[in-house]
Amino acid sequence: MPNKKELAIATNEKLSKYSTFQIGGPADFFYKLEDPADLIPLFKFAKKKKIPYFIMGGGSNILFDDNGFRGLVIKIDNKNISLSPGPKGSILLTADAGVSIASILDFSIKNDLSGLESWVGLPGTVGGAVYGNAGCNGLETSEILTEASVLDDKNCRIRKVPNNYFNFKYRQSKVKTSKEIVLSATFKLEKRTMSAEDQKKMMTEIRQSRIAKQPFGASTGSFFKNPSKAVPAGRLIEQAGLKGKTIGQAQISTKHGNFLVNLGGATSQDILKLARFARQAVKLKFGLTLQEEVQILSANGLQKL
């Protein structure tokens, strides 16, 4: 092993267990990371083996290859949450990258805080939210993040960086290209001013609205980025007449055009063929090229659609 600590690195771990698509073959090596200090020996392990590594969170925005991954998959699984005083009476919530969005929302409510209600139903983890500037119902990560701890895999140095460091854009952040790993993030919240009943009612309404628009089933949520707020990708796909379109066991949802669903037994190639079909149809009809929002991990590394 790469250092004195015995790291429980699994072999031939099936990736379909860790993806909301429920698709994916075995990774040659797999590690659930609870202690960020393990990253350094893991990097050394990958370097010694001369293999690539891939960092993942909740698996809600990834399409894994049926052939798996010929490298090391590191699943961020640290899960601490804490509170501290913020400026002008605000409250700062700091959560490890492996904490689910559902968990920080639940934690904030139990501590009489407000600011995360719009994230009801948002899948994924804190690390993934920062990585992709995730958001829903009008609230993006960039609007409430104050700072985050990141690790640079080149010099293995951990540092805290402010919001503006990430150069946030729609579903985009600097760490998508800088090869830095988000270890924790701090969000600025407020003490709840409405009643607990009103907060609960607000969240119920948001949840019901979300459920009404979005389908159930094995998917990653929105597959494509919206070309703009005024032009949702789902609407373009629907206007191209593709709702319900099926290739193999992959289907464009009959409920929402931007949801690709695994009907049961879909392969990664089924999903990719369907996504490419939808992109081509939208290009022909509207002259717009849709960009995928999900990460596509082939057997040898990340790829584009």
Q: Is 279 a catalytic residue?
A: no
Higher pLDDT: 279 or 153? It is 279
Q: Up-side HSE of residue 84: CA atoms within 13 Å toward CB?
A: 9
- In percent, the amount of the chain with pLDDT more than 70 equals 98
Per the structure, the count of domains in the chain is 3
C-alpha distances in Å from residue 97, one per residue of 62, 239, 241, 249: 16, 38, 39, 33
214-256 residue pLDDT tens:
777 899 989 999 998 789 999 999 999 999 999 999 999 999 9
Say if pTM beats, i.e. exceeds, 0.85: yes
Instruction: Tell me what pLDDT residue 2 has.
Output: 42
Confidence band, pLDDT 50/70/90 cuts, at residue 212? low
The catalytic position among 140, 171, 180, 192 is: 171
Q: Is 292 a catalytic residue?
A: no
Among residues 57, 76, 95, the one where a domain terminates is: 76
**Residues 97, 205 share a domain:** yes
The catalytic position among 222, 268, 279, 292 is: 222
Q: DSSP characters for 182-221?
A: EEEEEEEEEE--S-HHHHHHHHHHHHHHHHHHS--SB--S
Confidence band, pLDDT 50/70/90 cuts, at residue 13? very high
In a domain, 274, yes or no: yes
In a domain, 19, yes or no: yes
**What distance in Å separates the CA atoms of residue 110 and residue 93, rounded to the nearest whole number?**
13
Instruction: Tell me what pLDDT residue 198 has.
Output: 86
**Residues 124, 72 share a domain:** no
Q: Is 222 a catalytic residue?
A: yes
In a domain, 100, yes or no: yes
**Residues 224, 201 share a domain:** no
Instruction: Tell me what pLDDT residue 4 has.
Output: 60
Residue type, 247: I
173-193 residue pLDDT tens:
999 888 899 999 999 999 998
Instruction: Tell me what pLDDT residue 25 has.
Output: 98
Cα distance from N-terminal residue to C-terminal residue, the chain:
36
**What distance in Å separates the CA atoms of residue 261 and residue 218, rounded to the nearest whole number?**
6
47-69 residue pLDDT tens:
999 999 999 999 999 999 999 99
Long-range contact set of residues 151-158: C-beta below 8 Å, sequence gap at least 24: 151/36, 151/39, 151/180, 151/181, 151/183, 152/178, 152/179, 152/180, 153/39, 153/43, 153/179, 153/180, 153/181, 154/179, 156/39, 156/40, 156/43, 158/36, 158/183
Question: Is the pLDDT confidence value at 139 over 50?
Answer: yes
Among residues 160, 184, 212, the one where a domain terminates is: 212
Domain with 265 in it: 215-303
**Residues 179, 94 share a domain:** yes
Burial category of 285 from C-beta neighbours within 10 Å (exposed 0-12, middle 13-18, buried 19 and up)? middle
**What distance in Å separates the CA atoms of residue 200 and residue 197, rounded to the nearest whole number?**
5
Among residues 212, 245, 278, the one where a domain terminates is: 212
**Residues 57, 40 share a domain:** yes
Indicate the average pLDDT of the chain: 93
In a domain, 29, yes or no: yes
Confidence band, pLDDT 50/70/90 cuts, at residue 79? very high
